[in-house]
Amino acid sequence: MSIYSRILGTGSYLPPQTVTNEELAARLARDGIETSDAWIVERTGIRQRHFAAAGVGSVDLGEQAARRALESAGLSPQDVDMIVVATSTPDMIFPSDASLIQARLGCAGGAAFDVQAVCAGFIYALSVADQFVRSRMARNALVIGAEVFSQILDFSDRSTCVLFGDGAGAVVLGPSDQPGVLASALHADGRQSGILRTPGRVSGGKVSGRPFLEMDGQAVFKQAVHVLENVAREVLDKAGRASASVDWMVPHQANIRIMLHTAKKLGIGPERVVQTVALHGNTSAASIPLALDSAVRGGQIRRGQTLLLEAVGGGLTWGAALVEY
Answer whether 110's CB lies under 8 Å from 137's CB. Answer: no
Select which of 21, 140, 255, 282 is catalytic.
282
Fill in the amino acid letter for 35.
Answer: T
Task: Tell me how far apart the alpha carbons of residues 92 and 34 are, in angstroms, rounded to a whole number.
Answer: 34
Answer whether 232's CB lies under 8 Å from 310's CB. Answer: yes
* Cα-Cα-Cα-Cα dihedral sign, residues 215, 218, 219, 220: positive
| 119 is annotated as an active-site residue | yes
Select which of 119, 140, 255, 280 is catalytic.
119
Task: Tell me how far apart the alpha carbons of residues 19 and 25 are, in angstroms, rounded to a whole number.
Answer: 10
* Cα-Cα-Cα-Cα dihedral sign, residues 155, 160, 163, 166: negative
Q: For residue 184, how many other CB atoms are within 10 A of its CB?
A: 23
Select which of 161, 252, 255, 280 is catalytic.
252
DSSP 150-197: GGG--TT-HHHHTTB-EEEEEEEEEEESS-SEEEEEEEE-GGGGGGEE
Q: What angle do CA 34, 38, 42 make, to 5 degrees?
A: 115
Active site residues: 119, 252, 282
